[in-house]
Chains A and B, each alone.
Chain A
Amino acid sequence: MGKSSYKRLSGGQNLRLRLVLATLSSTPVLIEDIHPNDMFPGLRFHEVSFLRLLEKICDDCAVEINETGTKLKFKPGIVMGGRNLVHDCGLTRSIGYFLEPLIVLGLFAKKPLSIKLKGITNDSKDPSVDTFRSTTFPMLKRFGVPSEGLELKIENRGSAPQGGGEVHLAIPVVQSLTAVKWTDEGMVKRIRGVTFSTRVSSQFENTMVYAARGIFNSFLPDVHIFTDHRAGVHAGNSPGYGISLVAETTSGCCLSADTAISYAREEETAGLEDEKKELMPPEDVGVQIASVLLGEIEQGGVVDSTHQGLLFLLCALCPQDVSKVRVGKLSPYGIETLRHIKDFLGVKFVITADPTTGTVMLKCVGCGLKNLSRKQC
């Protein structure tokens, strides 16, 4: 297979998703026109960092980038996994950006993956590490991922812009996932959450908890929001605070909402940020995120809008069996994911709107992905 045909794509959007799908389906990709009109054209720092990470966990994976970085040639290899890996995620995006694809790839690795990621643990752009622990992992278990070996430990927290956080991620390997019929969203039975603060007074956390509780109190009494105040080396290099909430339902679904507040990083790509100069006071943060979570609950579905993409991806990677899931309104990223899944894996979902509840039902037959690399050993 010396001469392999490259799948041609253009545009720099959804790079992570494309590379993950390319790796899982062993499709070499050639991506052109990556951010060609930016002030600094080509791949962004975090995207290059993600490519380096891929090289780290894969064997025989070839990455070619042209001089300006607007063209990328990617030949996927075999996901190896391995222990005691370390990756510096940089400071342009938080660790959440890297965790999402890493989790999916780790499941189909040859050996269990155990990696230390350094960078920003919480920011407002990506799901926070707390959300991964509270929401994403329970979701993985639905798909037959064993809970032994699935771990995310937050050693140090780091806020933008200077980061300094450190998490330890362990992902077990699976032979294949199991298809799900996951349509019962149940009723919310409790709300959990965790706040964090780095290099600011722990009083910030209490204010956030108090404000968020105030919103939930008219619904149910079982609300526990923990605080995680970090100081010293565990607090990273920048001040920041934030909150991650999760609503658990009677049928075991988890809906999450999170955010983090910290000073804006200096973007090397201009014109993308509309960061506020003033930080949002903790009370408003609590109220806002509690309201967002209630919005997610109101919308219905077995996962929140943030996890739709991952849910669809996992469904598509299941054995050749019917998966059926219910979500609320389709999120833009979820739609993008559906399109890419069809392009790479040839899995097309049957999407039906459920007018009585305002939710969307999705059905698909998985592509039957097996962990081939594991069989050989």
Chain B
Amino acid sequence: LAKRTFSRQTTNLMQLVYGKSSLPSSIGIEEHDSSADEESDGDDFFKPKGDGIKKHRVDVGNWNVEDSSKFTNYSNVKDWNDKKLIEDLRDRFVTGDWSEAAK
């Protein structure tokens, strides 16, 4: 099961980035997905279109976005005085537990 969710995530990312062009590779996945989900073969037919629309929408959204590579996630700034957060991130630093980080 873990392997299957993993592979699904892969196609999702590829699909997200490249839109429907990654469809050939996704069809193979969908086939063995269909047993798990209640996706009938008819849904395959609709998928690409929905994908296309979604991609189009994304493009429209991007129409006037500033051409800048800088991406600073201000919305997600956390309060790093929180003890729990500090402990969670501790192992990404050399001061943390090395064996823990090596995993």
Contact = CB atoms under 8 A, between A and B. Distances in A.
Most buried by B among A96, A97, A218, A352: A218
Interface string A340-377: 00100000111111010000100000000000000000
Q: Which 8 A-B pairs have the closest CB atoms?
A: A305-B71, A331-B71, A353-B9, A351-B13, A291-B77, A188-B93, A189-B94, A220-B95
Contacts, number: 136
Interface of A: 11-17, 35, 38, 47, 96-97, 100, 125-127, 187-189, 215, 218-221, 250, 257, 259, 272, 288, 290-292, 294-295, 297-298, 300, 305-310, 330-336, 338-339, 342, 348-353, 355, 360
B86 interface: yes
Contacts of A125: 66, 68, 70
Nearest to B62: A13
Given A187-B92, A292-B73, A292-B74, A215 B80 contact: yes
A219 B89 contact: yes
Contact of A187 (B70, B71, B98): B98
B46 interface: no
Interface in B41-84: 59, 62-74, 76-81
Contacts of A335: 16-17
B93 A219 contact: yes
A292 B72 contact: yes
Contacts of A308: 69, 71
Most buried by A among B13, B59, B72: B72
A212 to B, nearest CB: 11
